[in-house]
Structure 1
């Protein structure tokens, strides 16, 4: 595996040094050179399992992806998925509260979890001799959570504190929440993953148990194992633990029930200009536009556009508004956020003191119109191509990064090897494609401009 890592490093160097001079087929060959040796099996209970052997160190990373996120929540139950994620580190039928974390800590490992609109992911990184016990604990988490009433109430308080820290007391978090609510109005993406305060306060243990039983099942999960393992032996261990769990025979109808009457077509009436009162002494802003979902060809072109416009000190918007002759911002960045069923392209930053919000907004729209022609050329494309590919490869040089990478590919595209298509798209990106999406999606008539400032009078949407 060490030789493979060295080869990967050489591949990165080749991309950086050569792609600015080579086009077309040569670049496509660079992208297709990545071929990760993965063994995939689907167990009888529907659990998808991906295994990659890496014997460079006696360690492993285990990622478990569940197809459940904020998009499955409804009115009155926002935040249920995230709340449940917290509870899955607590007491189970066969283990006391805190056992999971203590086991990982005393064996020199690390573990965590995260919840998004689209999925929930749990992961562990440990020495290889702990693999068997870790799989046993993941099987316990998938099947035997009890949601102890006393712990449930304690965790409710912890979730509310987290919400306060991330949203209520964070200008950037509050602005992000407002952006999602505005851009995805009337859709499952229009809420907050952490949940509305009223919903978190009122979520019942019984409702949460139903949610757990509905979605935490082997046929709703993908397990990715990367480390110092022999695949046949590892599959046997997984069969003896996770493989013995019963599938949820009603999963399809349950998902249909949760998705009934839900649409991902936003009801937002754009354009919108919104001012929020927050704790920021100088205004912060967010300018957002509707964008396509993950996997869409135009979404990849928007990834390039976000990098050209707002990634680093040499990006177009940074030079225009931060380091230019007449600076207006202290910082700026752009991003293309792709979700399973939709997306949003946004630009965010913070104004300098005494800069007019209205005047800046007009200037920003003018600059974006000019950027579609001026900022996108062969030089900026090649630079972005190098940065994107370098980041792409560097994210998979360790067990954890590779496990996450393969799991996301399997989850979003149904194919862990989707990266081959993605690399081909990146390598064959053109100036025309990026210019086309710039003109198509950065439409002022389909935008939402949100600012947050301690001098605004408005406190909520």
Structure 2
């Protein structure tokens, strides 16, 4: 319900302060009348699990001689322990370096020479590597993916160089960027005492002190075939793909004790909300006018109420026609330059937030009081049958547009498998969205959007250091 290409991410993926993300969808909203439950989205996915536990998902698409390859590893920021935070993200950087049988940068050069592209990303929940390539280079790419899964070397000199790259990335994203600073503090406050209460990049002190030996230990623990899902979408038949994967990955040993470890890591008690609310936090940062976030504890991916909160987030904070935009951005007396809302559902917990930037000379305290008043009545005032149906229409548009490419399909399928343990999980999601009424969205809104259980954070250069 969270990530790139999952259905709910396509529904509620407005990034903080990105008020224009749904402009195109809104232009077409009134042309979509199809019921979500009637969507004919029947992806003919083939699945195979190797004896070492590697899960393979395949979808054939013969339109063009290209394929997309995604590898999902069940390891993210939540998998780390105090003292080694940032290990997952740091390791992601190192996965493009030297292996036992290939020199550094070989992987990237092969991709480039074949006219493809590749990248990776790390989240609180997982690490994902992906390639978009011509189908005739698939065999070679699978060989290289299997190689770095089993034979990464982590040479000392590149390791130290990449450490500095990661530290600079942390400065750029959080320490020197007001929006990042705001988001990081929100995560720390809402998820205090849980594995989500920090940064995927890690604490600077941990990154500075992480040893090569500790990272190798982390790599050998989590980078195992029974901790991965391989997704391939494109111009290749299932039997041919499965044979190639068996040849490349079949001899890699499974990780022992991983199932027990993952069960321990996903214990509900570890992710129980512990924040003492309400709470107000003021941060000093390089923002000329105040930026703010108002956050409420929410739900993990897959919870039925979470889908109602997804719809609510779009109604109140997505695009110029959203409720809060009309109240605070494009009103006769605007207070904000932008506003957005999102229901950020992680695999084991979640947070609903509203964020925006104040206009010059607008009093922060005055605005906060106005927002608090709005929150008390927003469930009844913003949620109507029309606004709910409009949002459902947008869901269809975003769903279809997100699945037009092999890349979009591969990411979508992999996330369904990762977050729900079922690549057909989107069918249940569509049914839930379709069944939601205005009354249900209102009821859910009143249950979770409570000013007395909220966190209000602002960052501004005039706040005390």
Look up the SS of the partner of 2:64 in the other structure.
coil
Residue in structure 2 matching 1:27, options 28, 35, 56:
35
Task: Using the TM superposition, give the Cα deviation of residue 261 of structure 1 relative to its aligned residue in structure 2, in angstroms.
Answer: 11
Task: Using the TM superposition, give the Cα deviation of residue 177 of structure 1 relative to its aligned residue in structure 2, in angstroms.
Answer: 0.1
Q: How far does the alpha carbon of each residue in 1:405-459 deviate from its partner, in whole angstroms, 9 at most, with x for none?
A: 000000000000001111111122210111011111111111110000001004x
Question: When the two structures are superposed, what TM-score results if normalisation uses the length of structure 1?
Answer: 0.93
Cα distance in structure 2, aligned partners of 1:397 and 1:338: 24
Residue in structure 2 matching 1:182, options 175, 185, 189:
189
Tell me if the contact between 1:27 and 1:428 (Cα under 8 Å) persists in the aligned partners. Answer: no
Query: Does residue 120 of structure 1 match 2:127?
Result: yes
Query: Does residue 231 of structure 1 match 2:276?
Result: no
Find the counterpart in structure 1 of residue 172 from structure 2: 165
Task: Using the TM superposition, give the Cα deviation of residue 258 of structure 1 relative to its aligned residue in structure 2, in angstroms.
Answer: 5.7
Find the counterpart in structure 1 of residue 438 from structure 2: 431
Tell me if the contact between 2:71 and 2:128 (Cα under 8 Å) persists in the aligned partners. Answer: yes
Task: Using the TM superposition, give the Cα deviation of residue 382 of structure 1 relative to its aligned residue in structure 2, in angstroms.
Answer: 1.1
* Compared CA separation, residues 342 and 97, structure 1 to 2 (3 A): same
Find the counterpart in structure 2 of residue 75 from structure 1: 82
Query: Does residue 309 of structure 1 match 2:309?
Result: no
Cα distance in structure 2, aligned partners of 1:295 and 1:210: 32
Residue in structure 1 matching 2:407, options 400, 410, 426:
400
Tell me if the contact between 1:79 and 1:192 (Cα under 8 Å) persists in the aligned partners. Answer: yes
- Tell which has more relative contact order, 1 or 2 (C-alpha 8 A, sep 6+): 2
Cα distance in structure 2, aligned partners of 1:90 and 1:337: 33
Find the counterpart in structure 1 of residue 374 from structure 2: 367
Find the counterpart in structure 2 of residue 48 from structure 1: 55
Cα distance in structure 1, aligned partners of 2:415 and 2:402: 13
- Equivalence map 1:211-226=2 (5 Å): 211-226=218-233
Tell me if the contact between 1:336 and 1:346 (Cα under 8 Å) persists in the aligned partners. Answer: yes
Find the counterpart in structure 2 of residue 92 from structure 1: 99
Task: Using the TM superposition, give the Cα deviation of residue 38 of structure 1 relative to its aligned residue in structure 2, in angstroms.
Answer: 0.5
Look up the SS of the partner of 2:424 in the other structure.
helix
Task: Using the TM superposition, give the Cα deviation of residue 379 of structure 1 relative to its aligned residue in structure 2, in angstroms.
Answer: 1.1
Higher mean alpha-carbon deviation, 55-64 vs 356-365, is at 356-365
Task: Using the TM superposition, give the Cα deviation of residue 369 of structure 1 relative to its aligned residue in structure 2, in angstroms.
Answer: 2.1
Query: Does residue 17 of structure 1 match 2:34?
Result: no
Residue in structure 1 matching 2:424, options 394, 401, 417:
417
- Equivalence map 1:313-352=2 (5 Å): 313-352=320-359
Cα distance in structure 1, aligned partners of 2:434 and 2:130: 31
Cα distance in structure 1, aligned partners of 2:104 and 2:113: 15
Query: Does residue 149 of structure 1 match 2:156?
Result: yes
RMSD: 1.6
Q: Name structure 1 gaps, 5 residues minimum.
A: 1-12, 20-25
Cα distance in structure 1, aligned partners of 2:463 and 2:132: 46
Higher mean alpha-carbon deviation, 122-131 vs 254-263, is at 254-263
Cα distance in structure 1, aligned partners of 2:332 and 2:186: 30
Tell me if the contact between 1:15 and 1:30 (Cα under 8 Å) persists in the aligned partners. Answer: no
